[in-house]
Chains A and B, each alone.
Chain A
Amino acid sequence: GDSVTQMEGPVTLSEEAFLTINCTYTATGYPSLFWYVQYPGEGLQLLLKATKADDKGSNKGFEATYRKETTSFHLEKGSVQVSDSAVYFCALRPTSGTYKYIFGTGTRLKVLA
């Protein structure tokens, strides 16, 4: 079945460091891919998305490129801030006939000043 695998956290970085959070998926066809962010005590906010191969989603300095050949959707940011500390979830929506999302386990990011 379809699945999403995220790198284990927590990830601890200094402010202004480069961030990569790996996400790979298993799915048939061309799923839509998403990154969500969850701040402490809050729900999920859509960070960015991509709906077809080679699409690049970007928002607030974060980027991720839909790589069909490697079945990956890694999240990157060139310079993280303390305010980026949160849990990041990679998710996919399968190609066919369902609105259900499949979530990764989440990666906790802590940015130190």
Chain B
Amino acid sequence: GAVVSQHPSWVICKSGTSVKIECRSLDFQATTMFWYRQFPKQSLMLMATSNEGSKATYEQGVEKDKFLINHASLTLSTLTVTSAHPEDSSFYICSATGTSGKGTYEQYFGPGTRLTVT
């Protein structure tokens, strides 16, 4: 299957700082990428959908000024958590999908990034 990577796999930051998480599709062109948040022992909550070259579409209740998403190329999307607070601590997972060739139509998930805000 298609491969999606995330970096870093875990990060600890201080309250008030910003942290950037990268999501890359390694062997296909990802026209659409998704960002999820997962709380302990819970399901995935879709935060936003990003299409390459366009502004991200955020789900209801997700603060777009806090969770900045950029999808500048067909292989890279970034999620920046701005002015992080302890309640932003969570497991963030990205996924990617393409519209032709490898990676078509299915979501391929990254391994996740654990963010801890102290």
Which chain A residues have a beta carbon within 8 Å of chain B's beta carbons? 34, 36, 41-46, 49, 89, 93, 99-101, 103-106, 108
Q: List B contacts of A100 (CB < 8 A).
A: 34, 46, 49
Q: List B contacts of A106 (CB < 8 A).
A: 42-43
Contact B43 A104 (CB under 8 A): yes
Closest to A42 in B: B111
- Bound Cα distance from A32 to B107, whole angstroms: 12
- Bound Cα distance from A34 to B106, whole angstroms: 10
Given A99-B32, A100-B34, A100-B49, A44-B109 contact (CB < 8 Å)? yes
Asked if B1 is at the interface of the complex by the 8 Å CB criterion, the answer is yes
Which chain B residues have a beta carbon within 8 Å of chain A's beta carbons? 1, 6, 32, 34, 41-44, 46, 49, 93, 95, 97, 105-112, 114
Q: Out of B44, B46, B112, which one reaches A89, CB within 8 Å?
A: B44
- Bound Cα distance from A93 to B34, whole angstroms: 14
Contact B109 A105 (CB under 8 A): no
- Bound Cα distance from A93 to B105, whole angstroms: 9
Contact A103 B44 (CB under 8 A): yes
Contact B112 A46 (CB under 8 A): no
Q: Out of A41, A46, A101, which one reaches B114, CB within 8 Å?
A: A41
Q: List B contacts of A108 (CB < 8 A).
A: 41
Closest approach, in angstroms, between the C-beta of A60 and any C-beta of chain B?
14
Query: What are 26 A-B interface contacts by the 8 Å CB criterion?
Result: A42-B111, A42-B112, A43-B93, A43-B109, A43-B112, A44-B44, A44-B93, A44-B95, A44-B109, A46-B1, A46-B109, A93-B105, A93-B106, A93-B107, A99-B32, A99-B49, A99-B97, A99-B107, A100-B34, A100-B49, A101-B107, A103-B44, A104-B43, A105-B43, A106-B43, A108-B41
Given contacts A103-B44, A105-B42, 17 further A-B contacts (CB under 8 A): A36-B109, A43-B93, A43-B110, A44-B95, A45-B109, A46-B1, A46-B106, A46-B109, A49-B106, A89-B43, A93-B105, A93-B106, A93-B107, A101-B34, A101-B46, A101-B107, A103-B43
